[in-house]
């Protein structure tokens, strides 16, 4: 937004002429109340093209150094730790040729939940000198959501100003690295994958301890027959049949093998014919078998987690979007997920298509709500509206803890 910067300078010069003060003196006097808060502070980026363009280069004050993100599609960010909660009144961004058309300047007290202090969808590169901001937080983030060029994003310099005082610049003994930091990882990384499983378990089993739900089984009256296990495998939707078939391949003499003919017969219905009265106790007994526990986990990943995450990655979505796809797949199946996605794409472009990730996820969650309300048994949309939307409103696109949400009236927190 070069025009904004020029207008700001022109306004300062006009006031100076009226007061009989040289323009250069007026601008300096106007800036004297601001303290540079960001110089030399620890900086982190969602991705880095190479060790030649690290996040720290955007705050080192060097004229020839810059941060450059990875070149892939989607949202990227640069985060600066100001050392203590600070009032931020001005941010100056100097973009390189790979600039953001759409971006937000955000502040956070914990590095997880963010508040916009500025946002635009009409950025044009160069120097953006953003003044008269009102925001407070320890962490400052530039969240770049739409690319203006085919590459990623790059910033020569990020300067944050406020009344201060500025925190002491720490010494760093860390070796330079272009690796993706843990907080920016997707759901395929073990810690984030565990978060996804706990989030789904809060909705499916009313607990974060999904490993304690291998023996869960009941008929919810939703037309899907028995619902059971760690992600709600159903006797009426085929996934329970697939699971027990795989378990029997691994352990032919298991307690559920004799029910395979009945599971084939009731597939596509809500009937218990051939299953009662022995299937429920047989399931609970089988759940003690480590082979069955592993079969449930493998089925979850094969049927739902892996295809959902791959689709989300292809759409350029970060961890929150990957989770939103996975949760939709668990409830509606992968074909149902694709139907929800198709409706969302008609409203907003995905990041891979050049769209804004936050806007697209809002459209996806709208479409997911509409799909849930089509079924009376799933008309309670709190697993979306008081969980996923909460994270989206806080721009927590990477599912960074602490996370707090509500499902069906119950409160859950992940602190790690």
Question: In angstroms, rounded to a whole number, what is the distance separating the alpha carbons of residues 74 and 398?
Answer: 13
Strand partners, 412: 405
Q: Catalytic pick from 204, 356, 371, 398?
A: 204
Active site residue 222: yes
The dihedral built from the CA positions of residue 67, 69, 70 and 71, taken in this order, carries a sign that is negative
Any idea of the CA torsion for 185, 186, 187, 191, to the nearest 10 degrees? 0
Active site residue 371: no
Q: Catalytic pick from 34, 60, 194, 222?
A: 222
**How many residues are listed for the chain in this entry?**
416
295 with 247: CB under 8 angstroms?
A: yes
Residues with a known catalytic role = 204, 222
């Amino acid at each position: 937004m070069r025009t904004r910067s020029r207008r700001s300078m022109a306004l300062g010069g006009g006031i100076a002429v009226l007061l009989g003060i040289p323009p250069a003196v007026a601008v300096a006097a106007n800036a004297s109340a601001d303290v540079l808060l960001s110089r030399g502070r620890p900086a982190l980026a969602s991705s880095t093209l190479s060790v030649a363009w690290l996040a720290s280069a955007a705050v080192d004050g060097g004229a020839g150094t810059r941060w450059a993100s990875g070149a892939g599609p989607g949202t990227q960010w640069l985060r600066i730790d100001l050392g203590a909660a600070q009032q931020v009144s001005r941010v100056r961004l100097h973009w390189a040729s790979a600039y953001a058309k759409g971006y937000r300047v955000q502040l956070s007290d914990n590095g997880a939940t963010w508040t916009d202090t500025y946002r635009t969808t009409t950025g044009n590169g160069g120097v953006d000198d953003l003044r008269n901001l009102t925001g407070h937080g320890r962490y400052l983030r530039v969240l770049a959501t739409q690319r203006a060029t085919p590459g990623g994003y790059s910033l020569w310099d990020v300067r944050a100003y406020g009344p201060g005082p500025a925190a002491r610049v720490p010494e760093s003994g860390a070796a330079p690295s272009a690796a993706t930091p843990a907080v920016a990882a997707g759901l395929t990384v073990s810690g984030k994958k565990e978060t996804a499983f706990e989030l789904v378990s809060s909705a499916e089993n009313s607990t974060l301890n999904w490993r304690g739900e291998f023996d869960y089984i009941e008929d919810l009256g939703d037309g899907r027959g028995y619902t059971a296990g760690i992600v709600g495998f159903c006797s009426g939707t085929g996934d329970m049949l697939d699971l027990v078939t795989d378990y029997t391949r691994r352990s032919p003499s298991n307690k559920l093998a004799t029910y395979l003919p009945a599971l084939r017969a009731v597939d596509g219905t809500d009937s218990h014919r051939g299953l009662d009265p022995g299937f429920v106790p047989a399931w609970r007994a089988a759940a003690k078998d480590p082979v069955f526990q592993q079969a449930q986990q493998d089925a979850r990943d094969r049927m739902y987690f892996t295809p959902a995450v791959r689709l989300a990655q292809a759409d350029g979505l970060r961890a929150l979007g990957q989770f939103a796809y996975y949760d939709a797949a668990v409830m509606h199946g992968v074909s149902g997920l694709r139907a929800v996605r198709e409706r969302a794409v008609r409203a907003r472009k995905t990041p891979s298509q050049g769209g804004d990730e936050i806007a697209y996820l809002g459209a996806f969650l709208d479409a997911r709500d509409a799909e849930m309300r089509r079924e009376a048994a799933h008309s309670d949309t709190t697993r979306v509206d008081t969980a996923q939307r909460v994270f989206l409103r806080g721009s927590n696109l990477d599912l960074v803890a602490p996370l707090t949400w509500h499902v069906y009236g119950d409160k859950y927190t992940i602190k790690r």
